[in-house]
Amino acid sequence: MNRIRCDQTPAWARLQTAFDQSRPFDLRKAFATDAQRFETFSQSAPHVFADLSKNLIDTDTDALLQDLARQTGLEAHRDAMFSGAAINTTEGRQVMHWLLRTPPHDPAMPAQSVHRHMAETLHEVHTTQGTMLAFAERVRADATITDVVNIGIGGSDLGPQMAVLALDEFVLPGKRFHFVSNVDGHELAAVLKKIRPEHTLFLVASKTFTTLETMTNAQSAKAWFEAQGGTDIARHFAALTTNVVAANAFGIRTTFGFWDWVGGRYSVWSAIGLPLAIAIGAQGFQEFLAGAHDMDEHFRSAPLAHNLPVRLGLLDVWYRNFHGFSSRSVAPYHSALKRYPAYLQQLEMESNGKRVDADGQTLAYGTSPVIWGEPGTNGQHAYFQMLHQGTDVVPVEFVAVKTPKHNLPGHHTLLLANVLAQAQALMLGKSDAGGHKHFTGNRPSTFLLLDELSPTSLGALIALQEHRVFVSGSVWGINSFDQWGVELGKVLAKDVEARLQTGHVDGLDASTAGLLARVRAS
Ligand code: F6P
């Protein structure tokens, strides 16, 4: 399909002119001169309301950004993804995580599909999902299983971990969930201290079933299980993988499969979501999928001007390439969203951290911002100082939830007051003769509001983030669905591992050689 690189479009040059002419854009003046600004720059999407009005944009810029999207072929690219085209070109794969949340007999399906077997694939998805959800229900009903240990890393850890923590209020009492990702043995050892083999289900989650960390942890867990007298591997170990053959060779008979068209960081909707399905049940998991599907439909069909993932993705481009902002801080004002920033780090930075376009040509502009953050209000007492008065401008993306799940008096009002006040303070600033107490203000933020944190709204929020990453990646002309950048370190680690055994440093750079010798010295 024909993708035009953003810097080769007329809109790109016009955006540069608009940027140069509108400086300095002042949010306070923008509000003072436009009584409709909040309405113009707010957007309802399924299960998520977004206030974009405290961003450094006006209606002209907004229109130009939409032109940019059109001129780069964003809509055709989006439609290609939803039709099953192999848009992950460097790996020759389709990108169809959205199919995992498509209901059976979706009437839109055959018309959209260029992929002859899409209906059969959807059928296969639902059959596999049915088996996985039935297993989840059996584990839930089995009172002898008190601990579920997920062994996986990257997308095989961050998605289910983030979601199980986020939906803690919906988790079945009597089950504990542990997530082991790091090859650092401290992590697994700490979990093993807390569990008994006869009460534990280990889930070995790995798309490839070759990842060093996961295989090492899985081997050690199995060795521990057997050393503790555990015998029934079939009952106490299950694998979540596209590589069932390798899982069988490992000795695991209970396997839940998925497909190569599900990227690791997009896999929480697949068998990789099994810990979540056990935690919140089949019905809860289906609500999670349904919330995401609602967002898919919004992304697929809403006009660009009222399409929330499109508006967020275009803002990302505006900030990265015209304002030169190199990071975005994520501030979820909900303590259960504590792994949400880490989840978004992989989603954005592994997807869009690329320096060449889809044809391998070097880019002359920036791509993925650095994503970082912590739940509020904690961040306020750590790094918000820099957000308010530092030399760099960092757009902040707040997430707040209207209704809490606890009934402790006062807390939620204070929480909401703080998140609203932070967004307000960033924008308004405070004049104090330019000294230590001066706040420049005019610092941009986006405010995402959920009615409540539920399986449905979490599904919609995560799908929103997936699609906004698609939008910016598409405009930047890159392949957001490969991750070659993680390979070099893996290869070198094998070589260094051997050298750590032997002490051979020949051919190594002086720094690595020096460190290796120090690490080995007794
Ligand atoms: O090393 C990066 C990566 O490939 C991620 O993209 C992926 O989510 C993670 O490793 C885990 O991979 P797997 O599920 O195959 O173990």
480 Cβ closer than 6 Å to some ligand 1 atom: no
Could you identify the residue written with the tokens 């810029």? 61
Residue in 213, 287, 348, 350 annotated catalytic: 350
pLDDT for residue 112: 54
Task: Please give the distance, rounded to the nearest whole angstrom, from the Cα atom of residue 153 to the centre of ligand 1.
Answer: 6
CA distance 54 to 488: 41
**Atom in ligand 1 nearest the alpha carbon of residue 152:** 16
156 Cβ closer than 6 Å to some ligand 1 atom: yes
**Atom in ligand 1 nearest the alpha carbon of residue 264:** 8
pLDDT in tens, 31-72: 999 999 999 999 999 999 999 999 999 999 999 999 999 999
How buried is 174 (Cβ within 10 angstroms: 0-12 exposed, 13-18 middle, 19+ buried)?
exposed
Active site residue 388: no
**Atom in ligand 1 nearest the alpha carbon of residue 155:** 8
Q: What is the DSSP letter of 89?
A: T
Structure tokens at 324: 């030169």
CA distance 40 to 47: 19
pLDDT for residue 522: 86
Measured between alpha carbons, how far is residue 214 from residues 105, 185, 218, 264, 435 in Å? 36, 11, 6, 14, 52
On the question of a cis peptide bond just before residue 46, with omega within 30 degrees of 0, the verdict is: no
Nearest to 403 by CA among 393, 415, 391, 420: 415
Active site residue 350: yes
Average pLDDT across each block of 10 residues of the chain; the chain has 522 residues. List them in order: 92 96 91 98 98 97 98 98 97 98 77 68 97 98 98 98 98 97 98 98 97 97 96 95 96 96 98 98 98 98 98 98 98 98 98 97 98 97 98 98 97 98 98 91 98 98 98 98 95 95 97 97 90
pTM, two decimals, is: 0.97
Torsion over CA: 37, 43, 44, 50 (sign): negative
206 Cβ closer than 6 Å to some ligand 1 atom: yes
Measured between alpha carbons, how far is residue 172 from residues 161, 279, 288 in Å? 15, 6, 16
- Write the residue with the smallest CA distance to atom 9 of ligand 1: 154
- Write the residue with the smallest CA distance to atom 8 of ligand 1: 155
Q: Are 147 and 178 in contact (CB under 8 A)?
A: yes
